[in-house]
């Protein structure tokens, strides 16, 4: 069936509920309010229920630690931010042909964060090795940076079914929301 996006009471992204029955359970127990529903209906013995696409928690859910989901430079996040282009030579790459490169190498104390990792083709990554770009005569086309709100949304829903993506994006646009509160 379909997954459900869960927003905290502050309208901040909280999670993706993988199983429709768990999302419906949040609504039926009064813990969440549906903001968007799929046209799909689940039939019970006495009632019919529309499946929630986006739900808003009625109370603020405290997380033990602030999740820094998009500070971690995953392949998908870095490639989306860099538009699937090598940041040294500009070659178009794919998830299978490209690599991630630390601008300041980890061997020299460079952090493994979005502001230090770029997309590189295999040739440029091998050429740069564990040196700084200036040391091997290479220049970055774009400085590494944190993801924008649009890029975060792209990372989150890149591999989501069209039905889910349309429902989630329609709801977020209608409400004028980003995924993360500032």
> Would you state the pLDDT for residue 182?
44
Low-confidence ranges of the chain (pLDDT < 70): 1, 64-69, 157-159, 178-182
Write out 21-35 in H/E/C secondary structure.
Answer: HHHHHHHHCCCEEEE
Q: What is the CATH number of the domain that holds 110?
A: 1.10.30.50
Please check whether residue 180 lies inside any domain of the structure.
no
* Same-domain check for residues 59 and 85: no
> Would you state the pLDDT for residue 150?
72
Residue 51's domain spans which residues? 4-66+159-175
Phi, psi of 43 (to 5 degrees): -100, 130
Closest to 158 in 3D by CA, of 101, 67, 84? 84
* Same-domain check for residues 62 and 78: no
Give the count of alpha carbons within 13 A of 171, CB side only.
23
Please check whether residue 121 lies inside any domain of the structure.
yes
> Would you state the pLDDT for residue 133?
95
d(CA 160, CA 105): 33
> Would you state the pLDDT for residue 169?
80
Q: Cα 31 to the chain's mean position, in Å?
A: 25
d(CA 2, CA 115): 35
Instruction: Answer for the pair 32, 45: CB distance below 8 angstroms, yes or no.
Output: no
Please check whether residue 40 lies inside any domain of the structure.
yes
* Same-domain check for residues 110 and 89: yes
């Amino acid at each position: 069936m379909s997954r459900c996006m869960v927003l905290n009471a502050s309208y901040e992204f909280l999670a993706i509920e993988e199983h429709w029955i768990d999302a419906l359970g949040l609504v039926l127990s009064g813990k969440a309010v549906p903001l968007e529903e799929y046209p799909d209906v689940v039939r019970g013995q006495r009632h019919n229920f529309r499946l929630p696409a986006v739900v808003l928690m009625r109370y603020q859910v405290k997380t033990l630690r602030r999740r820094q989901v998009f500070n971690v430079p995953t392949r998908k996040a870095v490639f989306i931010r860099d538009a699937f282009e090598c940041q040294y030579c500009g070659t178009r790459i794919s998830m299978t042909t490209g690599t991630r490169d630390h601008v300041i190498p980890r061997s020299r104390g460079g952090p493994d964060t979005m502001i230090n990792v770029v997309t590189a083709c295999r040739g440029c990554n091998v050429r740069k090795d564990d040196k700084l770009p200036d040391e091997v005569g290479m220049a970055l086309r774009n400085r590494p940076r944190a993801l924008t709100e649009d890029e975060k949304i792209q990372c989150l829903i890149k591999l989501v079914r069209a039905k889910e993506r349309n429902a989630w994006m329609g709801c977020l646009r209608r409400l004028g929301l980003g995924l993360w509160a500032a």
